[in-house]
């Protein structure tokens, strides 16, 4: 069991949950700075890294087991730094940020549920022994 890569899916889901948690903090920061002149909204890039890491012709199990977990670190970037929706130079739209926050929270709880299901599968296998 120790060398069986049983936790590969959980590790990937955990990385995605960490990225979602980072995104939550970034969105909260955007909301907090909605009235700050010249503030530019930030976002997190992660999904493209995951998609790239999972690309290939192998089976999903093989692709997941071959992922370099260090390549799945989220990065924070400034979104549309030259674009401004308002005269004060700020490009944060509160309604958009709140919808991103709600979407991200659903995404985060879905990832936690998926991790829980993976642990339940492992418990079922261990209980059957």
Give the pLDDT score at 125: 84
Q: Which of 26, 19, 35, 36 lies closest to 78, judged by CA? A: 26
Residue with tokens 């260090």: 70
pTM attached to this predicted model: 0.85
Q: Would you call 19 helix, strand, or coil by DSSP?
A: helix
Give the pLDDT score at 6: 67
* pLDDT above 90: percentage of residues in the chain: 59
pLDDT per residue as tens digits for the range 30-87: 999 999 999 999 999 999 999 999 898 888 888 888 888 888 899 999 987 777 778 8
Residue 126 pLDDT > 60: yes
- Taking 3-state DSSP, the helix, strand and coil percentages for the chain, each rounded to the nearest 5, stand at 60, 5, 35
Q: What distance in Å separates the CA atoms of residue 79 and residue 97, rounded to the nearest whole number?
A: 12
Q: What distance in Å separates the CA atoms of residue 83 and residue 31, rounded to the nearest whole number?
A: 17
The alpha carbon dihedral of 78, 83, 84, 88 has a sign of positive
**14, 115 contact by CB (below 8 A):** yes
């Amino acid at each position: 069991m120790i060398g069986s890569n049983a936790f590969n899916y959980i590790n990937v889901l955990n990385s995605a949950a960490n990225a979602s948690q980072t995104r939550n903090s970034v969105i909260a920061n955007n909301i907090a700075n909605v009235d700050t002149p010249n503030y530019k909204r930030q976002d997190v890039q992660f999904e493209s890294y995951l998609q790239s890491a999972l690309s290939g012709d192998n089976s999903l199990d093989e692709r997941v087991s071959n992922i370099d977990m260090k390549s799945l670190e989220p990065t924070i970037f400034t979104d549309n730094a030259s674009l401004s929706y308002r005269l004060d130079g700020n490009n944060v739209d509160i309604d958009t940020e709140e919808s991103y926050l709600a979407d991200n929270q659903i995404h985060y709880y879905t990832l936690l549920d998926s991790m829980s299901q993976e642990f339940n599968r492992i418990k079922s296998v261990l209980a059957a022994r």
